[in-house]
Each structure stands twice: as structure tokens, then as C-alpha cells.
Chain A
Amino acid sequence: MPVELMKGNTALAEAAVRAGVEAFFGYPITPQTELLEHMSKRMPELGRAFVQAESEVASINMVYGAACTGTRVMTSSSSPGISLMQEGFSYIACSEVPCVVVDVMRGGPGLGNIQPSQSDYFQVTRSAGHGDYHAIVLAPSSVQEAVDLMGDAFDLADQYRHLVFVVADGLLGQMMEPAELPPMQPLRTERPDWALTGANGRDPNIITSLELSAPALEAVNDRLQAKLKVIRETEQRSTENMTKDARLVVVGYGTAGRIAETAVKQARREGMQVGLFRPITLWPFPEQRLSALTDHVEALLVVEMNAGQMVEDVKLAAGGQIPVEFYGRTGGVVPVPEEIYDAIVESYEKLA
């Protein structure tokens, strides 16, 4: 496939089309609207389903319905819209139907603004709806990685019958970069045996998140937690650069991780032994690899476009073995490499 210059949102949409998404339900919200617009053209021309819903509440419940039929289905939104979808996420997770949700995060709280942000890390990794579960969360840092992770997101959703987020921020959604799209996958012709396809020659299939008896609902939770345990043990993903001899490792994901890489390279040029650790899965958080790094790394510096959210997971992974510093900007302010470099120098000078 040739490399094309593509906007992040459009690339995410087309990657989903190539991955065989059969239905898209969404609602316009900046800064993800180009994704919906691309789908409004592409899905009908391919004979697939597209609905611009009346709200994010409706779109996630349309996703829930289509997911019950065992088709590949997705929606996309941005922070305030993701808040509205929380109800649906919870039902989907409990019902164990697969779907993919793209969250192009913007500045908050409240209506906030439409600038790039990572302020919804907690929302997607901790509490994507009421109840007791985690969604799988993938965080690309370039348009190419966004394209690649969209395909993985659908595969993971199907494999685990689970809710999978692909989280970007407004910068990744809006910027144009060269990327190579995967070839078009054929649509699946068979539906899974649990899917709602009509009780033709079999007993009815039921998809519900209701379980009135406490012991029976605990059994549902046990099944869900057993699945999440497998995901936690086998699906952690991260990438790192210059960590082998690093005394200080900067931890950042998505856009923040990418900007931090520039600052880390500058620090290396200045003779500091600094490396970069970039989580790709935010849940499961790549604690195994990060924890291993604490054997030789003397301190960690977490950089986020929020007031400090992932830093909690980093501290859990570090297990109190080494200091964990934090540098963040909020409100849609994107840090420049120079200020992260300054934070690196400050943390590095504290090393024994």
C-alpha cells in the first residue's frame, strides 16, 4: 500500500473500514468530527451501516444493539460525549459484546475547550461506566500507529468479547502525517454462536446485563474478572528508547510521549543518561515492563497533558522502589520539548 498524507481522524476512520467495521454510529463533536464525516461517505458506498444519532447516549446504545448481532461495530467521540456514553459502556462490558470506541480527548472539565488533552485517562482506564470492570485502552502516538492499532482494537474486541478504546487527543486527531493503510479485509460472513440472529433451529439467544440474584451476579463478575486477569497478564504493550543504561526514564503516552522523546534526545546530547518509556496499552497498564526497569533505573518522570493521572499507575508499578516525579500541563495546553527538557534536568539533578 502506498504511503499517504492523512489527517489522524480520517486515518482512524479508514483504518476501521479496512479492518471490516460493518456499522458506525456517532454524533458530531470537535475534535473528532472528521472521523464521523469520513464514515458518512465511506460506509454507505460500501453498503455498510452508518447512522448519525441524536446524541452520544443513543449512538452508544445503537453500538450495543449492533454488537449483540456479532458484527464489527464502532463509535467515536470526544471527552464530553464519552461522558454521555458511560451508561452504554457498562452494559456492553457486562453483556460481553465486542465493540470499539475512539476517544479524541479534549480539554476539560465541563465543556472545557477543543484543544488537545489527556485529561480523561481516569475516565477510560478506571471508570468507563458504573460497575466493576476495565476496558482495554490503546493509545497511539502517531497517525501510523493509530492506523495499526485500529485493526488490533477490533481483533482484541472480538477475541475477548470486550469493549476496546482507542484514545487519541485533539492533536493526533487533527494533524496530518504520512501513513500506510492496511489492505481491505473482507467482511466476515459468519456470526458467532452467541449472537442475536433469530432463533432459527436453536433455542433463543439472550443478551442482557441483568442478574437479579446476588450470587448469580457475583458469578458474572467472577467470569468478567477472570477474563480481565488474562488480558492483564497477556496484553500489556509498551515501547521504550534508550532505557538500557538510563538513570532517569521519562514515562509518557500518546502525544505527550512523543514530545517527551524529543526532550529525552536533547538530554542525551547533553550527556544525561535518560530514556523514554511509552505505554501503548493504558489498560492493561504495562506494569510488568516498567516494574522491571526499576531494577536499574534510579527515578521516573511522568509527563502527561493533565494534572497527573497515569502517574498513579506508574507509582503502583514502581512499588515505592524509586522516586516518581511528575510534569503536566492542563486545559488543552500542549507542552513544548524545552519545558519537558527542563523538568528532566530538574529530576536528573536530584539523582544521588
Chain B
Amino acid sequence: MTSAVMVEEKVVYERPESLADVATHYCPGCTHGIAHRIVAEVLDELGVRDRTIGVSPVGCAVLAYKYFNTDGAEAAHGRAPAMATGIKRVMPDHVVFTYQGDGDLAAIGIAEIIHAATRGENITTIFVNNAIYGMTGGQMAPTTLIGQETTSSPGGRSQTLTGFPVRMAELMAGITGSAYIARRSLHNVKEINTAKRAIKTAFLAQLNGLGFSMVELLSTCPTNWKVSPAEALAWVESDMVPYYPLGDYKVAEEVKPLMKRR
């Protein structure tokens, strides 16, 4: 007689409920997938998936509404914060977030994002900064670094011709209506975990009605940077982080207890 050995299996990793069970269109090595996942994990942990409405941008994340297992809308280029404002004002008990890239948020939509913050609009913005226009094939973004080669800054971005990369987290932190503004990076596991905590704080700020919150995520674009995924991660750390320092840029007094609670 043989005795059966029961081995208890423990789930250590699974798809968050807030992430749809579909393949994404993102390129290999792109960190959009990581950003989606940690946002979805936060929505799960806060138990708000079924009352969340996401607003997608124009850009690489244009189809984000297919990847989040929440209600979603697709905004015009740069207008996601205005659209989110319209939604939040008539659905104040719902969780409303925008997910935007650097062309969408920092170029064509800079008015909408700044005024959403000046109104203290009680929404959360996930801002993916990969220093390039990905969807249109690698043109210069407002966040492209000086000297960075793109298809519309041949020979590298020139400060004489195009000025300087915009630091959005610093800009948004200067706005009184901003409750929580942070910049994080997705270039290694430690930073990803830190980024997730910031995203949770941002959504908690919204759930507590404290005003506008935004987490800027330094992200990769190996396809348009024309490097390998590993090289892309290394470039974020070596070149992006020095110009875009990581950290909390605005933490309203009422937000501080939310950060301690975890």
C-alpha cells in the first residue's frame, strides 16, 4: 500500500483581476506591460475594480482600455484629463484614472493636465515617460533628452533648435491642487516595487478625496531607441534617471498618513 503525499500548492503569481486576460500589442521589452500590471494590482488591492473607469490616451497605450478589466474610454490626443474630469464630476463615487504617454500628456495635452491639477480634480494620472513618440515611429517628444537621436531630431536633440526636455513631475508639484506627485522608474524590480507603492498612494489620495494625483513612470522603448531590452533598461538608469530624478515631488499633508498606513 502506498501512501499518497499531498503537496499543497501555493499560488505565488497570477493575473490580477483588474487586468484583462488578453495578449497586448506592446513590443518585446517595453515596460508598458509592467506599468499596466502594477496599476491593476493596486486596483485589486484597493477593491475598486468594479467602480473604476479608465481613460486611455492616443499613443502606444491607445488600446489600454482593452487591457484593463474595467470600464474604459478612449480620449482624443492629450484630452484624457478633460474627459476624466467630465466622468468624475458626474460619477464622484467612482475611481477615475488616465493613462498617458509623454507626447499625449507633455505636448498636446499639457494644458489639460495642468488645469486638471489646478482644479484639484480628484483623479489619478499614470504618466509613462519613455522620452519618445513610440506609436508614430520614434519622433522627438517633449521629454526626449538632449543629444538623443530620434527620427525627427536626426543627429540628436539639439537644445539650440528645440529647447529642453520638460520635467513634468516637478512642474505638476508646483500646483496647489496637486495632492500627490511622484516620479518612479520601471528599470529594475526594486524600482517597480517602489513605483507600485507610489501608484497605490496616488489612488488612495483619490479615494480620500484629496485632489489630483500623478505618478510619472520612466519607461523603455527598445524598438524606437533601437537597442535591446536589456540595454534599454540600462539606459533608463544611466541617462534618464540623472535628468529625471526619482522621488516624491508633492505630498500634501493629508496624503502623508496614507503612506504610513501600509
Contacts and interface: CB of A to CB of B under 8 A. Distances in A.
Could you say which of B68, B76, B86, B89 has the most chain A C-beta atoms within 10 Å of its C-beta?
A: B86
Contacts of B56: 208
A196 B91 CA distance: 9
Interface stretch (A68-76, A177-185, A251-259, A330-338): A68-76
Contacts of A51: 85, 89, 119
Interface in B77-117: 79, 82-91, 94, 111-112, 115
B138 interface: no
B236 interface: no
Contacts of B76: 61, 64, 87-88, 91
A293 B124 CA distance: 58
Nearest to A200: B50
A204 B82 contact: no
Contacts of A49: 89-90
B71 interface: yes
A71 B94 CA distance: 15
B111 A54 contact: yes
B73 A61 contact: no
A123 interface: no
Q: Which of A22, A53, A206 has the most CB of B within 10 A?
A: A206
Interface residues of B, number: 37
Contact of A54 (B62, B87, B91, B112): B112
A197 interface: yes
B112 A66 contact: no
Contact of A208 (B53, B74, B88): B74
B69 interface: yes
Interface in A113-138: none
Contacts of A58: 79, 82, 85, 111-112, 115
Bin the interface of chain A by size. Answer: 35 or more
B79 A61 contact: yes
Contact of B65 (A59, A71, A208): A208
B72 interface: yes
Contacts of A67: 86
Contact of B90 (A59, A64, A71): A71
Given A54-B111, A91-B76, A65 B71 contact: no
Contact of A201 (B50, B53, B87): B50
B226 interface: no
B51 interface: yes
Contacts of B51: 198, 200
A198 B52 contact: yes
A23 B145 CA distance: 41
A62 B71 contact: no
Contacts of B94: 197-198
Contact of A207 (B62, B74, B91, B115): B74
A199 B69 CA distance: 8
Contact of A62 (B63, B70, B82): B82
A69 B115 contact: no
A67 B89 CA distance: 11
A277 interface: no
Interface in A149-176: none
Given A53-B115, A198-B51, A61 B86 contact: yes
B86 A208 contact: no
A61 B88 CA distance: 13
A63 interface: yes
B73 A65 contact: yes
Contacts of B183: none
Contacts of A209: 74
A49 B92 CA distance: 10
Nearest to B52: A198
A242 interface: no
B250 interface: no
A210 B200 CA distance: 30
Contact of A197 (B71, B73, B84): B71
A62 B75 CA distance: 10
Given A51-B119, A210-B62, A196 B112 contact: no
B74 A196 contact: no
A107 B64 CA distance: 42
A288 interface: no
B71 A206 contact: yes
A87 B83 CA distance: 13
A348 interface: no
A224 interface: no
The 5 closest A-B pairs by CB, nearest first: A65-B86, A61-B82, A208-B74, A62-B86, A65-B83
18 contacts: A54-B115, A57-B111, A61-B82, A62-B85, A62-B86, A64-B82, A66-B87, A68-B83, A68-B87, A69-B87, A69-B90, A71-B90, A198-B51, A198-B71, A201-B50, A204-B20, A208-B73, A210-B62
Given A49-B89, A54-B112, 6 more contacts: A196-B73, A204-B72, A207-B72, A208-B65, A210-B62, A210-B63
